[in-house]
Amino acid sequence: MADLFSLRGQVALITGGSSGIGRATARAMGEAGAAVVVSSENGAACREAAQELQDQGVRAQAVPCDVQDRDQLAALVAETVRQFGGLDAVVHAAGVAPHSGPMGEASQDEWDLTMQVNLGAAWHLSTLVREHLMVRGGSLTLISSIAGVRGNRSLGVYGVSKAGLTQLARNLAVEWGPQNIRVNSISPGLIRTAFARPMLERPGVMERRLALTPLRRVGEVHEVAGVAVMLASRAGAFITGQNIVVDGGTTIGDGS
């Protein structure tokens, strides 16, 4: 059974890999046996995350990259292949939410940044990794959000970008399936990360939110990372074009 979830022999690339869900995914994939490239725009944090993995005996390298820059994305993919000889699993966890509040109050810069990082970068990255994933029958996993599967009063711009990301996964799954490439998205709910800290630090908001969540708790990063490992492993070999919701039941609960 353990071999079903093994990533031995795989090379995994994680954007947004120096913090939060991305860092937990890099750790989980390394522990499952993959060689890991940790990437984000924060070079020092990337090196720290990669060193942590190396200290655990994982083959890991830090390759900083600003995902808004197409040239840097191309260099990231090329360096990954140069260092490890190929590419099997890509997880795009980089994401931003610069605007909170009604969508009509978002600035053009906030809209552009959100779409460029959360959606545009995923599209550009996908075009760069396709030829490498095709060689090995690999997988691409896009970290989306439940903000992209329902309406939201304060994260509308972010939600639109994540809805697009989930649809990107579906479209690529249809296009790339005949080439033996699997593409899925994961939509976390409220997960204990620095990204979610503004909400986690508001007791009144949290009380209402947890009352709407059947499991009555906040999720942990490893609970999302585990799904990413499954999707990259033999256990997920017949799953493609899916959006897997990891939210403790928030989106299906009736509040009772």
Distances (CA, A) of 253 to 49, 72, 248: 36, 42, 9
**CA distance linking residue 245 with residue 227, whole number of Å:** 10
Active-site annotation holds for 126 = no
Show Cβ contacts of residue 81 under 8 Å, excluding neighbours closer than 6 positions: 87, 132
Q: Going along the chain, which residue ranges are E strands?
A: 11-15, 35-39, 60-62, 89-92, 139-143, 182-188, 243-246
List the one residue out of 9, 15, 33 whose CA is nearest residue 142.
15
- Coil vs helix vs strand at 140: strand
> What count of residues does the chain have?
256
In angstroms, the first-to-last Cα distance of the chain is: 37
Q: Which of 29, 148, 158, 227 is catalytic?
A: 158
Q: Which residues does the annotation mark as catalytic? A: 158
